[in-house]
Each structure stands twice: as structure tokens, then as C-alpha cells.
Amino acid sequence: MLGKADDLALTVPVDSVRGGETFMNEFDALIAEAGRRGYLWHQFRPDRYGPEVLAGVLRWGGVSDVVVLTDEWGTHAYRTPGGDGEDVFAPGRVHWWYGCNAGAANVSMVWILRALLTLPTPDEWLPPLVDAPAGTGVSGARVPVLVSRRECFR
């Protein structure tokens, strides 16, 4: 069973200040929370304006949770086998998938991050493998890539 959105406790240090008031939008808070939880960030095809694709990966032994941030129509998240030799950015099969697909209503990046961050651990919930929807993962040229992990202090 998926966790409820209320179960997502954002313990994010707020560091933006505007007019004497502290400000952080929900997208920023969710990205910061993913970093705090240990997601490793991959920036695909970066240029002077930033990456074309930003993908986060959290490994749970033989399973990985992945979020691919591209734009409002291509952003998606999934749980896939992620052991040695598995390419988590080109999965053929997934345990769970959430995002926009043909014929579905637009799902925002915030909703996709919420869904991913409220998933139970693979020990608690791991549905059977199904074929990954078309377009899952990072398509096209995947180089150059920059990899970074946010340092978190508790």
C-alpha cells in the first residue's frame, strides 16, 4: 500500500530569504528531501543553461527508486531492479511507475516527487514486475553526465 502524502515529513532547512521572510516552494523542498534521503543526482547533457535531464537514484540493494525530471510531460518515477549490471536509466521492467503517459491527464513534477517519496521501502511493498511504459528512463544521448550527492548535515 502506498503511503499517504501526510506521511511525508519535510525536514528541510529553508535557506531562501525574500523580503525578510523565509521562502521555499514545494518542488524545492521535495528535491531537498530526496537529497537528504540519499538520492544520487545525475545531470544529463548539461550546458551553460543547466542539464536537459536531471535524474535521481536511490539504491535499496537489488532495487532502485528513480526519478527522471525533464519537463512537465516527460517527468516520471519508477522502482526497478537495480543490482550489479542493471542499467536503471533504461529499464525493461518495473515494479512501480508514475508519470504522464499517452491519454492520461498531466501529472506535475511535484505530484511525481510526492508519490516517489511516499513509497514504502522495498521490504514493505514490492509489487510484481511489469513491462516499463514506453519512454521510461533517460532516452537519447546520455553523455556528458555530471554526478553529485548533496551533503546533508543532521
The residue assigned the cell 513534477 is 109
Supply the pTM of this predicted model: 0.79
**DSSP character at residue 92:** S
pLDDT at 50 (0 to 100): 78
Q: What whole-number distance in Å separates Cα of residue 5 and Cα of residue 33?
A: 14
What SS3 state is found at 104?
coil
Q: What average pLDDT score do residues 108-130 get?
A: 95
Look at residue 116 and give its three-state secondary structure.
helix
Q: Give the residue-averaged pLDDT of 111-115.
A: 94
Residue-wise pLDDT for 78-92, tens only, equals 999 987 778 899 999
pLDDT at 9: 44
Long-range contacts from 140-143, C-beta under 8 angstroms, 24+ separation: 140/45, 141/45, 142/44, 142/45, 142/89, 143/44, 143/45
pLDDT digits (tens, 9 = 90+) for 33-63: 999 999 999 988 877 787 889 999 999 989 9
Check residue 63 and give its pLDDT: 95
Under 8 Å between Cβ of 109 and 70: no
Round the average pLDDT of the chain to a whole number and report it: 80
Classify 30 in phi/psi space as left (phi over 0), alpha (psi -120 to 50) or beta.
alpha
Average pLDDT over residues 116-138: 94
Confidence grade of residue 147 (pLDDT, cut at 50, 70, 90): confident
